[in-house]
Amino acid sequence: MVRLGRYIAATASAVALAATAVALPAQAQSLDRDRPSHDDRFKRVGYFVQWGVYERNYHVKDLEASGAPRKLTHINYAFSDVTAQGVCKSSDPWADWQRPVPAEQSVDGKADAENQVIKGNLNQLRKLKARNPNLKILISLGGWTLSKYFSDAVLTPEARTKFASSCIDLWLKGNLPDLPPGAAAGIFDGIDLDWEWPGSPGEVGNVVRPEDKPNFSLFLAELRKQMNAYNRRAQITAFLPAAASKIDPGIEVPKVFKELDFATVQGYDLHGPWDAKTGHNGNLYTDKRDPYPVRFSVDQTVRDFIDRGAPRRKIVVGVPAYGHGWTGVKGGDGLWQPATGPAPGKFAAGSEDYKLLKGKPGKRYRDLRTGALWMYDGNEFWSYDDPVSLTQKALYIRAKGLGGSMMWSLDQDDEKASLTSALYRVLR
């Protein structure tokens, strides 16, 4: 597998490479039949977004209907708020446990009763786990818009103790506000930390301190201590940044990985419509054509973490189920060309789900030497992943001895879970 992965990355013939890549899932499947059925060391993580039940009209039932849960090891439910008071809090109680789910949106076809204690997404996740007993569900804290007060919440020993206790009490013990004690116990199997990013200012006014770097490690140690006291099988994971300029100010890599069951590392948003020129959203290898002073790639991120002491088998590679797009692009195949702005998207300018991009008109270009796919119609340029590019990434994960894959986000895959399935065929 190592030699085959290197061959895919290095061979010059794009046509031969594409044919090889398409055939790889079947090869990987035949290899896996030789393994014991209980062997499932690769993590296959997907995010389910809390707010998907609104404009996106995507529900836990839709996830179950796609077959994705049977091909995943973990679902991260995004996101819990981290408050100015330094505690965990639901960012949307209505979606989480208050919204009565009608029969047509319910995993088992049964509507929530009006007097039911737990409704909403949490009750649907409970039903999902009953159907998929090996599936782990983690609550994710923070994210891009809710990480503002992480720095405050981990600032002192007292704050760290309080913060850890509040998250365990709310999400693992299931003590939701105004409900009977333990009403939501057993739904979540652990906590995923999405602090974006320790020691680095975000674009939403995050509190940032130089002390974030050691305090993040200290908080993980405190959380691990309290989690072990509650349930030693409960898991702790974290989402960590792609760029070395974000890793070094905020992550003590050996200390952080010591406390984590595994970490998902950012493998997307490497370029986007915030850039003046087009580029790759999540290229596997560095592109020699890249005109930017810092050249990003999944492989570079993985090597940065390994060089800083991360164990390979705890590195889970993030992959996108969406693409980034630019408009007003002229010239060649559209790659690395100036743009006038973000391309129109259904839910946000410059961003589009895979399930919509796969049918979008335009010429497709694939560079398997960099593990990149893009679409260009002479004006709009979109960089995204498809089952072939994710197969290549999955083979890379196996070849490098890494821990698995993580997808943001499951609602952006198509109704057949084509992206999830491509990863599963190799990482099982």
Q: Give domain limits for the chain.
A: 2-323+387-426
Measure the CA–CA gap between 50 and 95, rounded to whole angstroms: 7
pLDDT at 37: 35
> pLDDT digits over 57-69, tens only?
999 999 999 999 9
Q: Could you say which of 55, 114, 158, 196 is catalytic?
A: 196
Measure the CA–CA gap between 408 and 397, rounded to whole angstroms: 17
The verdict on whether 203 is a catalytic residue reads no
pLDDT tens digits, the chain, 428 residues: what are they? Answer: 333 333 333 333 333 333 333 344 333 333 333 233 344 789 999 999 999 999 999 999 999 999 999 999 999 999 999 999 999 999 999 999 999 999 999 999 999 999 999 999 999 999 999 999 999 999 999 999 999 999 999 999 999 999 999 999 999 999 999 999 999 999 999 999 999 999 998 777 899 999 999 999 999 999 999 999 999 999 999 999 999 999 999 999 999 999 999 999 999 999 999 999 999 999 999 999 999 999 999 999 999 999 999 999 999 999 999 999 999 999 999 999 999 999 999 999 999 999 999 999 999 999 999 999 999 999 999 999 999 999 999 999 999 999 999 999 999 999 999 999 999 999 99
CATH 3.20.20.140 corresponds to the domain 2-323+387-426: no
pLDDT at 24: 41
> What six digits make up the tokens of 72?
């995943």
pLDDT at 46: 98
HEC profile of the chain: CHHHHHHHHHCCCHHHHHHHHHHHHHHHHHHHCCCCCCCCCCEEEEEEEHHHHCCCCCCHHHHHHHCHHHHCCEEEEEEEEECCCCCEEECCHHHHHHCCCCHHHCCCCCCCCCCCCCCHHHHHHHHHHHHCCCCEEEEEEEECCCCCCHHHHCCCHHHHHHHHHHHHHHHHCCCCCCCCCCCCCCCCCEEEEEECCCCCCCCCCCCCCCCHHHHHHHHHHHHHHHHHHHCCCCEEEEEECCCHHHHHHHCCHHHHHHHCCEEEECCCCCCCCCCCECCCCCCCCCCCCCCCCCCCCHHHHHHHHHHCCCCHHHEEEEEECEEEEEECCCCCCCCCCECCEECCCCCECCEEEHHHHCCCCCEEEEECCCCEEEEECCCCEEEECCHHHHHHHHHHHHHCCCCEEEEECHHHCCCCCHHHHHHHHHCC
> What six digits make up the tokens of 117?
């204690």
> What six digits make up the tokens of 58?
């995507």
> What six digits make up the tokens of 223?
């959380």
Q: Which residues contact 339 (CB under 8 A, 6 or more apart)?
A: 273, 276, 277, 278, 326, 327, 328, 329, 381
Label the pairing between strands 88-90 and 74-82. antiparallel
pLDDT at 403: 98
> What six digits make up the tokens of 340?
């006038």
